[in-house]
Amino acid sequence: MQIKSIEELKKIREKSLKKVNLREHGEESGDQIEVLVGMATCGIASGARETLSAIVDQVSKENLENVKIIPVGCIGYCHSEPIVQLNIPGQNPILYGKVDGEKGREIVKKHIKGGEPLKESIIDASFDRA
């Protein structure tokens, strides 16, 4: 990609900063949705970087400002990496397994935005947070 103007460069910078800020901070509010992506060695070896990038990109594309994306360590389900835990206020956390980039985008579109969990990819939806 060749950048042809300073304005084009500024737009690219703004878009990139928005993704970084979303990944690091999210938007603070009472209805904050948290997306935890397992980024321990087992997750990274299974493709969690692609998963994290796809989720960040899709949340940005959908302009979802109440979603905070958090890279975390081991979640404890190494056999099902990459793992994504979805924490929606007022609901039990849902743990998705074997989440590649495409499945990550689908979680954003169908579950976070549409309210429809991807039942075939859920590995645990019954645990309580301590």
Report the amino acid identity of residue 100: D
Is residue 127 predicted with pLDDT exceeding 70?
no
Q: How far is CA 42 from CA 63, 98, 123, in A?
A: 30, 12, 17
Q: Model confidence over 80-94: pLDDT tens digits?
A: 999 999 999 999 999
Q: What is the pTM assigned to this prediction?
A: 0.75
Domains defined for the chain, CATH in brackets = 29-124 (3.40.30.10)
When the pLDDT of each residue in the chain is averaged and rounded to a whole number, the result is: 87
Comparing 120 with 16, which gets the higher pLDDT? 120
Token pair of 61, please? 């594309």
Is residue 122 predicted with pLDDT exceeding 80?
yes
Q: Model confidence over 1-60: pLDDT tens digits?
A: 687 888 887 788 777 776 665 555 544 556 899 999 999 999 999 999 999 999 999 999
Please state whether 63 falls in left (phi above 0), alpha (psi between -120 and 50) or beta: left
